[in-house]
């Protein structure tokens, strides 16, 4: 049975991935930053009759020791699909003239650096997963990381962080191709979560179903692509 690791599964899209994967019978490892959120995931799994298919582990992707502890907890295991969902927007409504250096570094750290270092920490598990037909890494990015699409300005912190993730993940796609590990950059759409807000047009279930279809269909030939939840190719 293939196993999927969802990093950042406490709420929003991450929790949506866990629910959908369990519903269809996959073996899921989900990370949260605190125990209470892991308990909620187990309650959901029980209600689906799937608690034996859910394992929860702790990880704060921005903390090196926490990434190492996750890798250690999964030592000797095979991961077939890593979904790196964790991300932050940072403070909203910040304009040029008041850009905050500390917050910007934090957003870059969580959204750009941490996802790649998490994948790096889990390379042995992904390589083990790849021995049976390839492994996959999907990063939750954003259309707001597209330089071509940026016609409205602003959002310096989040835009630059997701653009950086896109750039780094392209390198990862090229570098991991010999290991038969495919990489995908996924824009979930504008979704009703804590980050997306209630005005967002998409519900979590619809976005997650679309993104999982993209991950299921991913192969080495389209590794490194940047697509939205419905499969539309997005401009860099």
Ligand X SMILES: NC(=O)c1ccc[n+]([C@@H]2O[C@H](COP(=O)([O-])OP(=O)(O)OC[C@H]3O[C@@H](n4cnc5c(N)ncnc54)[C@H](OP(=O)(O)O)[C@@H]3O)[C@@H](O)[C@H]2O)c1
Residues within the interface to ligand X (CB under 6 A):
8, 10-14, 33, 59-62, 85-88, 110, 140, 142, 187-188, 190-191, 193-196, 200
CA distance 24 to 211: 14
CA distance 96 to 186: 28
Q: Between 49 and 197, whose beta carbon lies closer to ligand X?
A: 197
Q: Between 110 and 122, whose beta carbon lies closer to ligand X?
A: 110
Least distance (Å) from ligand X to the CB of residue 107?
A: 10
Please answer whether residues 58 and 32 qualify as being in contact, where contact means their C-beta atoms are separated by less than 8 angstroms: yes
Least distance (Å) from ligand X to the CB of residue 125?
A: 18
Least distance (Å) from ligand X to the CB of residue 66?
A: 8
CB < 8 Å & 24+ apart, contacts of 104-110: 104/156, 104/157, 104/160, 106/62, 107/157, 107/158, 107/161, 108/157, 108/160, 108/161, 108/164, 109/62, 110/61, 110/62, 110/86, 110/161
Q: Between 94 and 220, whose beta carbon lies closer to ligand X?
A: 94
Strands of the sheet with 135-140, listed across from one edge: 54-58, 27-32, 3-7, 81-84, 135-140, 181-187, 225-228
Least distance (Å) from ligand X to the CB of residue 233?
A: 16
Q: Between 125 and 146, whose beta carbon lies closer to ligand X?
A: 146
Q: Between 30 and 130, whose beta carbon lies closer to ligand X?
A: 30
Least distance (Å) from ligand X to the CB of residue 56?
A: 12
């Amino acid at each position: 049975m293939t196993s999927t690791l969802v990093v950042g599964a406490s709420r929003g899209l991450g929790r949506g991935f866990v629910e959908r994967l369990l519903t269809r019978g996959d073996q899921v490892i989900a990370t949260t930053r605190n125990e209470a959120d892991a308990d909620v995931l187990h309650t959901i799994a029980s209600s689906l009759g799937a608690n034996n298919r859910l394992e929860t582990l702790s990880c704060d992707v921005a903390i090196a020791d926490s990434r190492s502890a996750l890798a250690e907890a999964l030592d000797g295991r095979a991961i077939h699909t890593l979904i790196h969902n964790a991300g932050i927007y940072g403070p909203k409504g910040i304009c040029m003239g008041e850009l905050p250096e500390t917050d910007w570094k934090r957003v870059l750290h969580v959204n750009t650096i941490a996802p790649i270092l998490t994948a790096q920490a889990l390379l042995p598990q992904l390589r083990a997963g790849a021995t049976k037909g390839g492994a996959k890494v999907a990063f939750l990015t954003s259309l707001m990381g597209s330089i071509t699409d940026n016609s409205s300005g602003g959002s310096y912190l989040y835009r630059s962080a997701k653009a950086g993730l896109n750039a780094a993940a392209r390198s990862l796609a090229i570098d991991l191709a010999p290991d038969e590990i495919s990489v995908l950059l996924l824009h979930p759409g504008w979704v009703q979560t804590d980050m997306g807000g209630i005005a967002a047009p998409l519900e979590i279930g619809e976005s997650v179903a679309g993104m999982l279809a993209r991950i299921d269909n991913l192969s080495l030939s389209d590794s490194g692509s940047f697509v939205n939840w419905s499969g539309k190719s997005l401009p860099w």
